[in-house]
Amino acid sequence: VKTALSKKDLTGENILVTAGPTREYIDPIRYISNRSSGKMGYAIAKIAKRRGADVTLISGPVSVKPPADIEVINVETAGEMHAAVMDNISMSSIFIMAAAVSDFMPLETKGSKIDKKEKLSLNLVKTIDILEEAGRFKNKPFIVGFAAETGQRLDRARKKLIDKDIDMIVFNDVSKAGSGFDVDTNEVVIIDRKVERKLPLMSKDDVAMALFDRIKELKDNGVY
Ligand code: CTP
Ligand code: CA
């Protein structure tokens, strides 16, 4: 990993990365979201840049500092993230969907604050699956998804790779110590159409390094 830090082997690649959670508003004050910190996606963007790529980062609301010299497009909702991805994907050679998109959104968002004395019940509808839509494109980039599962559900991750018609999926068990939310480490299995590589617990920067090593390997072998 040490020697790899200096290599500029992603020069010429245009990499689109999404990171962080989305927020789906109930009213102007309240929203539905999830526990994503954005750390994995930000590490990916940073490492891609360091290895010479042009990087665009589409980020949901996070508290991690934006990486230096990277164009960041800030979004809040799944709808906004979808629009930003669609605006940028045709320019990209690699698309990495590390964001934790909210799966559900309220059917309607109230324009003013709901009084807590009102009886509230929420009608939720599914958000657009951004990755699945990207997977249906004709001239698509190399596409990487993430599968955050509770437990060793590699079967669920493999199914997502096939169903969303993408090139690679990064499995992680978020219920495992050191692999959960808001930590600087991750323990993943990189699954592509050929092999599955189980990596030990490592920093998110090193996971990003390993991810690009594998993408490079596949691209250099002319598979993509
Ligand atoms: N994803 C997406 N748009 C959504 C939901 C998910 O692009 N509306 C992407 C995520 O960014 C991730 C991948 O799909 O790269 C898998 O997300 P995950 O939550 O593990 O799977 P889902 O397909 O959403 O199914 P479930 O939450 O039921 O496991
Ligand atoms: Ca989901």
Q: Which ligand is nearest to the CA of 168?
A: 1
| 129 in contact with ligand 1, CB cutoff 6 A | yes
Q: Which ligand is nearest to the CA of 21?
A: 1
Give helix 39-50 / helix 204-220 axis angle, nearest 10°: 50
Q: Which of 18, 81, 126, 130 to probe ligand 1 with, by most ligand atoms within 8 A of CB?
A: 130
Output the pLDDT for position 223.
Answer: 66
Output the pLDDT for position 4.
Answer: 54
What is the rounded CA–CA span in Å between residue 81 and residue 74? 8
Q: Model confidence over 142-154: pLDDT tens digits? A: 999 999 999 999 9
Output the pLDDT for position 6.
Answer: 67
Tokens of 45: 């963007």
For ligand 1, atom 9, name the residue with the nearest CA: 131
Q: Model confidence over 119-134: pLDDT tens digits? A: 989 999 999 999 999 9
What is the rounded CA–CA span in Å between residue 202 and residue 192? 20
| 146 in contact with ligand 1, CB cutoff 6 A | yes
| 36 in contact with ligand 1, CB cutoff 6 A | no
| Ligand 1 midpoint to CA 115 (Å) | 33
H or E segment to which residue 155 belongs: helix 154-163
Residue 2 pLDDT level (bands cut at 50, 70, 90): low
Tokens of 154: 């590699």
Q: Which of 160, 174, 211 to probe ligand 1 with, by most ligand atoms within 8 A of CB?
A: 160
| 19 in contact with ligand 1, CB cutoff 6 A | no
Q: pTM of this prediction?
A: 0.96
Percentages (nearest 5) of helix, strand, coil residues in the chain: 30, 25, 45
- E-assigned strand segments in the chain: 14-19, 24-25, 31-32, 54-59, 71-74, 94-97, 104-106, 124-126, 142-149, 168-173, 185-186, 188-192, 196-198, 202-203
| Ligand 2 midpoint to CA 69 (Å) | 30
- Nearest atom in ligand 1 to the alpha carbon of residue 18 is 11
Output the pLDDT for position 180.
Answer: 78
Q: Model confidence over 73-120: pLDDT tens digits? A: 999 999 999 999 999 999 999 999 999 999 999 999 999 999 999 998
Residues belonging to the active site:
34
Tokens of 15: 């990499």
| 166 in contact with ligand 1, CB cutoff 6 A | no
For ligand 1, atom 24, name the residue with the nearest CA: 103
Binding-site residues, in ranges, read: 103, 113, 146, 160, 164
Query: 148, 151, 194: which is closest to 172 by C-alpha?
Result: 148
The answer on pLDDT for 184 being more than 70 is yes
| Ligand 1 midpoint to CA 176 (Å) | 19
